[in-house]
Structure 1
Amino acid sequence: MQSNDARLLLHAVVPTLAIGAIAVAVSAVVAGGTGAIGAVIGTALVVFVMGAGLVALQKTAKSLPQLFQMMGLLLYTVQILFVLVFLIVFKDTTLFDTKAFAFTLLGATLVWIAAQTRGHMKAKILYVDPDSAEPKKAETAGSPT
């Protein structure tokens, strides 16, 4: 992972964890221990799903840049399906408060997207490869006479 990629990941993770800590405190006051557990699980799910997606997208951009846009669309679809499966599996759980989980999941996702967008806007990433600007010798076909 390049330093730009790590910086983008860090710029998204830190605000998400901060809002997650606030959500845990609020959920603990409003819904008790199960609310705090729900907020922790919601924050962890967002950091895991969005972080893994960002890492996968950056690796794809490096190795197969022609598939970058398609991979981005596929990635967001897979992320939504993963969260949907998680929601279906834990629909009737008593392990955590589902309302605290849902509000934390929504809030942490919005904060992640906003922080990631801000990180991309602030990053000074080259979009032209400087090595490709070097003049190359023209190769001619045939004999050198």
Structure 2
Amino acid sequence: MQSNDARLLLSAVVPTLATGVLAVGVCAVAAGGAAVLGAVIGTALTVLIMGTGLVVLQQTAKKLPQLFQMTGLLLYTVQILLVAVFVIAFKDTTLFDTKAFAFTLLGATLVWIAAQTRGHMKEKILYVNPDSAQTKSAETAGSPT
């Protein structure tokens, strides 16, 4: 993973985890232990699903840049569907508070998307690879005929 990729991942993980800690605190005060467990699971699930998606997207950008946009759109669709599947699968569970789980999952997902968008906007991405331009000019500059 390149340093800019790690920076982008970190810029999304930190606010999401902060949101999760805030949700755990609110749940601990308002609803007790079951809600805390629901908030922890919701935060962990968000970081897992969205983090995996970001890593897959970065790998696709390196290996198959022509598929980057399509992969991004498909990936966001799959991520949102996975979140919906987990909310539906755990809607009747008694292991934890489902409302705390669902609200934390939703909040953490929205924070992740906003933080990732902000990270992309602030990142300085080169449109031209300067190394390839120098190599190409060096190859053509002194070539014998």
Provide the TM-score with structure 1 as the length reference: 0.89
Aligned: 1:74 with 2:70? no
Which residue number corresponds to residue 88 of structure 1? 88
Q: Which runs of 5+ in 1 are unaligned?
A: 139-143
Contact 2:20–2:43 (Cα < 8 Å) also in 1 = yes
Partner letter of residue 80 of structure 2?
Answer: I
Aligned residues: 139
SS of aligned partner of 2:41:
helix
Aligned to 1:37: 37
- Measured against aligned partners, the alpha-carbon deviations of 1:80-106 in whole angstroms (never above 9, x if no partner) come to 221222122212001111111111111
| Cα RMSD for the two superposed structures | 1.5
Q: Percent identity?
A: 78
The residue number in structure 1 matching 2:102 is: 102
1:43 and 1:105 map into 2 onto residues whose CA distance is: 6
More helix per residue: 2
1:137 aligns with 2:140: yes
* Structure 1 residue 131, shift from structure 2 partner: 2.7
SS in 2 for 1:117: helix
Which shows bigger deviation, 25-34 or 59-68?
25-34
2:41–2:101: 8 Å Cα contact kept in structure 1?
yes
Counterpart for residue 16 of structure 2: 16
CA distance in 1, matches of 2:76, 2:114: 16
Partner residue of 2:126?
126
CA drift of 1:75 comes to 0.5
